[in-house]
Amino acid sequence: MTTMREQAMATAVDLFERDERVAIVMADISLDYLRPAVEHDPRRAVNAGIMEQSAVGIAAGFALEGFHPIVHTLAPFLTERPLEQIKLDFGYQGLGGTFISAGAAYDYGESGGTHHAGGDIQALGSIPGLEVLVPGSASETDALLLASYANGRPTYLRTSVVENREPVEPAPGGLTLVRRGGDVTVVAAGPFLSRTLDALDGVDATVLYATTLVPLDVVTLAREAAAAARFVLVEPAYEGTSAAQIAAALSHRPTQLLSIGVPRRFIERYGTNAEHDAALGLDVRGIRERILGFLKGV
């Protein structure tokens, strides 16, 4: 099975070979995946080395000259260390570029907190005009990257080792209506869709699937939401990351919102994704318990 990361790298190489305006800037990660680009044209496929601030700065230099740069490394090192470079070199200057991360949230559960990034979307989402894409499968990763790489704005594409059972036809920039129900409206993001659907077994819920978390498709949300006041947000990032956008979209109607996401604390144990899911209340059982409790008013 092709992982999201493998697909993102393959699509990036494909774009690089087809579009001379694409530049790839690496930071010593995924070099084997991206070697075909270097072999194709080493003048615009650059490994900066282990220097993420400069990798983003170098990418901005390419963007200043009209290129569509793609920068890639692991999530915390791409989104937190060079946050100011993404904010100023790209956001403030009005430049477009794609930032592709690997290792979302606690994906690298055996590596410890230095390699976790539950706050990546919140951090980058603070940059005006930046777009955050959270695919749930390899095919969605491909489609979203193809649709966004030349969009002229800074764009964060977050790949994960966790995938949904079945891919969904992505609606770049939009929400996809998965099913309709009357008791609650659930927004499930990226790779958390499958477990959310499982957790909703027997619940009469409208489910909307998001692969674009910033900006959230508030038009579709307002249009498709069930009449009931209760809303649930399930996202693979710090709890409440997208809550403000949902609240703003629903400001015209009474709303109760339950935000389910990664607890805002450092994770101190090592283990598999399944072990972390269970400990964090983000497996099917944990999500279901919280949703049912919410619906019962507990």
Partner 1 sequence: MDLIARSRGDEKHDASSYSTLEVIDVLYDVMRFDPERPDWEGRDRFILSKGHGPLAFYAVLVKHGFFPALELDRFLTWDGILGGHPDRNRVPGVESSTGSLGHGLPMAVGVAYALRARGANEQRVFVLTGDAELNEGSNWEAILHAGSVALPNLTLIVVDNRSSTVTMGDIAGKLAAFGWDAVTVDGRDRDALRAAYERRAAGPTAVVAVVE
Angle at 146 between CA 145 and CA 149, to 5 degrees: 65
Q: Is residue 93 near partner 1 by the rule CB under 8 A?
A: yes
For partner 1, the closer CB: 57 or 113: 57
Q: Residue 285 corresponds to which tokens in the numbers above?
A: 């059982």
Minimum distance of partner 1 from residue 130's CB (angstroms): 16
From the list 2, 6, 35, 61, which residue makes contact with partner 1 (rule: CB under 8 A)?
61
**Min. distance of Cβ 45 from partner 1 in angstroms?**
9
57 touches partner 1 (CB under 8 A): yes
88 binds partner 1 (CB under 8 A): yes
Q: Which of 29, 46, 124, 237 binds partner 1 (CB under 8 A)?
A: 46
If one asks whether residue 151 binds partner 1 (CB under 8 A), the answer comes out as: no
Rounded Cα–Cα distance for residues 50 and 65 (Å): 24
List the structure tokens of 184: 């609650």
CA dihedral sign of residues 140, 283, 259, 157: negative
296 binds partner 1 (CB under 8 A): no
Number of residues forming the site for partner 1 (CB under 8 A): 31
Q: What stretches of the chain show up as alpha helix (H) in DSSP? A: 4-18, 31-40, 52-64, 75-79, 83-84, 120-125, 138-148, 193-199, 218-224, 243-249, 273-280, 284-296
23 binds partner 1 (CB under 8 A): yes
- Sheet of strand 68-74: strand arrangement: 45-47, 22-26, 68-74, 97-102, 154-158, 131-133, 212-214
C-beta closer to partner 1: residue 62 or 108 = 62
Query: Out of 1, 18, 32, 43, which residue is the one contacting partner 1 (CB under 8 A)?
Result: 43
Report the interface residues with partner 1, using CB under 8 A. Answer: 23, 25, 41, 43-44, 46, 48-49, 51, 53-54, 56-67, 69, 84-85, 88-89, 92-94
